[in-house]
Amino acid sequence: MSIFRRKALTAPTAESSGMKKELKTSDLIMLGIGAIVGTGIFVITGVAAKESAGPALTLSFLVAAGAIILSGLCYAEFASRIPVLGGPYAYMYVVFGEIVAWMTGWLVICEFFLAVSSVASGWSGYVQGFLSSLGVELPQALSGAYNAADGTVVDLIAVLVLIFVTFWVSLEAKTALRLNNLMVYVKFGIILLFIVVGVFYVKPDNWQPFMPFGFSGVISGAAIVFFAFLGFDAVSMAAEEVKNPQRDIPRGIIGSILIATVLYIVVTLILTGIVPYTSLGVKDPVAFAMRFVEKDAVAGIISVGAILTLLTVTIAMMYSLARIVYAISKDGLLPKFMSKIDPKRRTPKNATYVAGVASMLFAGFFPLNLLAELTNIVTLMYLIFMGFGILRLRKMFGEPKKGEFRIPFVPVLPLVLVVVSGALMLQLQAATWRVFAVALVVGFIIYFAYGYRHSNLNKQD
């Protein structure tokens, strides 16, 4: 049987997963913002400004936002025409067939899995720093991932937070996202506090020179901050729990991207206006800027708020990871027990627990510094699939019907997405490409050892 066997376009839309359809556009926008606005705004802005773009980091965000919006447009058309759970995996199953769908799904699993684990580890670092300021120190063995030289064995706090997040995400979707929505409001409050206080300490002289590293620095900065936008794809993972997916998912995707872009640009302008970019190479640039102008109380509030709101990224990413695992197992490409729906909560409980345990092990015992860029490269790879997928979708099924989202300027915009994603991939280190190659090999082994034979389409044939 062909490894390129495809699902019918109408078949997935007729399926009933048994999950509650209770999410609206506002829920999806909050989910998207919860996943996007986190480490990007609280961590990456400082280092990217100092090492890559200077005050022109605002332009880097605009360049990155352009690429992300192109991705969002492709997602939006796919989501409105194929409004089912699974995101890029489900879309590729319809237009390219099973092997491309599986590898796309595998790349998405890698993205969310690495993101959940790394954010949990980062959250642990913030919490340990906060506890240290109060005079509370964890035993060395429990303070970090395994490192014989440092005497660390397991990152206890990362494991504990993932236990909590896994349990929370296993609840009903509306309940699971309620904490996310609350923390998004806290996040908005912190950012608004920084803007209101910080705007009075901006010195325009700090914006000079505006482009200390030239235009190449702007592009390098864009390559870094591009990944500060990742997480918008979490919205498409909620398709089978949305009241009107054809309308609400495109709105959720585009809305969350636009709001995040405005927040990033405003915060970066104020940040580089308060502190000379050469002094921003810190892990907590937003709080550091407040300390720089001797607003220590505000800095403390921002630090505590950042600790709380990083939970939203973990919740949104774990939610999405569980849904993609569930969607793939439902098609038989992963073990079927992960497609079981909890009869009471009507959520993919087993998929959530599997995703949670795997993330706990990874965050608790494995250092992530060598694998950080893997998140970038796997994401860019499946965005290339998405760009080509739109061209294939139009060729196979024609123009979108009335009421369906339409990406403009096809084939130009999808091809621009392909070129931009490919160019950003080429900027990544050789070591990242080697790890990426290993991940691809593992993905192919899983498919041919299990997925090919157990696929629902194979059983139908």
Instruction: Give the Cβ contact number of residue 25 at 10 Å.
Output: 18
Alpha-carbon span 447 to 5, nearest angstrom: 14
Alpha-carbon span 166 to 170, nearest angstrom: 6
Instruction: Give the Cβ contact number of residue 329 at 10 Å.
Output: 22
CA 361 to chain centre: 20
Please give the average per-residue pLDDT across 278-299, as a whole number: 86
**Residue 266 pLDDT greater than 90, yes or no:** yes
- Residue 93: pLDDT band with limits 50, 70, 90: very high
Half-sphere exposure at residue 128, Cβ-oriented, CA atoms within 13 angstroms: 19
CA 379 to chain centre: 9
pLDDT, tens digit (0-9, with 9 covering 90-100), for 33-72: 877 877 677 777 887 898 889 999 999 988 888 888 888 8
Alpha-carbon span 70 to 383, nearest angstrom: 10
Q: Which residues have CB under 8 Å from 394's CB, separation 6+? A: 410, 411
Model pLDDT, residue 334: 95
pLDDT, tens digit (0-9, with 9 covering 90-100), for 409-453: 999 999 999 998 898 888 777 888 998 999 999 999 999 999 999
Please give the average per-residue pLDDT across 18-29, as a whole number: 78
Model pLDDT, residue 375: 79
How much is the pTM? 0.83
Alpha-carbon span 183 to 164, nearest angstrom: 15
- Residue 350: pLDDT band with limits 50, 70, 90: very high
Q: What are the phi and psi torsion angles at 147 (to 5°)?
A: -155, 105
| Mean pLDDT lowest among 99-113, 372-386, 390-404 | 372-386
Q: Which residues pair with 23 in a beta bridge?
A: 242
Model pLDDT, residue 14: 38
First-last CA distance in the chain? 8
Alpha-carbon span 32 to 53, nearest angstrom: 26
**Residue 368 pLDDT greater than 60, yes or no:** no
Average confidence score pLDDT of the chain: 85
Half-sphere exposure at residue 405, Cβ-oriented, CA atoms within 13 angstroms: 24
**Residue 166 pLDDT greater than 50, yes or no:** yes
Where b means 16+ CB within 10 Å and e means fewer, 28-44 reads: bbbbbbbbbbbbbbbbb
Rg of the chain (C-alpha set):
22
Comparing 202 with 344, the larger pLDDT belongs to 202
Task: Rounding to the nearest 10 degrees, give the CA dihedral for residues 344, 311, 315, 264.
Answer: 140
Model pLDDT, residue 274: 96
Comparing 395 with 138, the larger pLDDT belongs to 395
